[in-house]
Amino acid sequence: MLHIINKSPLSSVSLDTCLNTAAGGDTLLIEDAVYAATKGNAAEAKLKTAMGKFKLHVLMPDLDARGLGDRLMDGVIAVDYAGFVDLTSNNKTCQSWL
């Protein structure tokens, strides 16, 4: 399953809910959720712990648009729009966490 999160971990519990509820799978951070995938942020420890359960991806154009392209955490896979399409087509189901 592909889990898609678009809300910042500073303004929403979407990331926490996904990480604590879902059984695993691919996770894609888009829009303001990309802040969670940066070094030194408040959600970094949570994501590092989740890496054993989830394969974490971030939409690089969204990270770049926020000027954070050089702060991507180790272990998080950067994808472009074609990679986003690949993730959706390679997973049987997709869940957007709102």
- Encode pLDDT of 28-48 as tens digits: 999 999 999 999 998 999 999
| pTM for the whole structure | 0.95
Taking the chain, what is the end-to-end CA distance rounded to the nearest angstrom? 16
Q: Is 22 exposed, middle or buried (0-12, 13-18, 19+ CB in 10 A)?
A: middle
Domain containing 88: what range?
Answer: 2-97
Cβ atoms 95, 3 nearer than 8 A: yes
- Encode pLDDT of 55-81 as tens digits: 999 999 999 999 999 999 999 999 999
Q: Is the dihedral of CA 29, 32, 33, 37 positive or negative?
A: positive
Query: What CATH number does residue 48 fall under?
Result: 3.40.1260.10
The number of folded domains in the chain is 1
> Using CA atoms, how far apart are residues 18 and 24, in angstroms rounded to an integer?
9
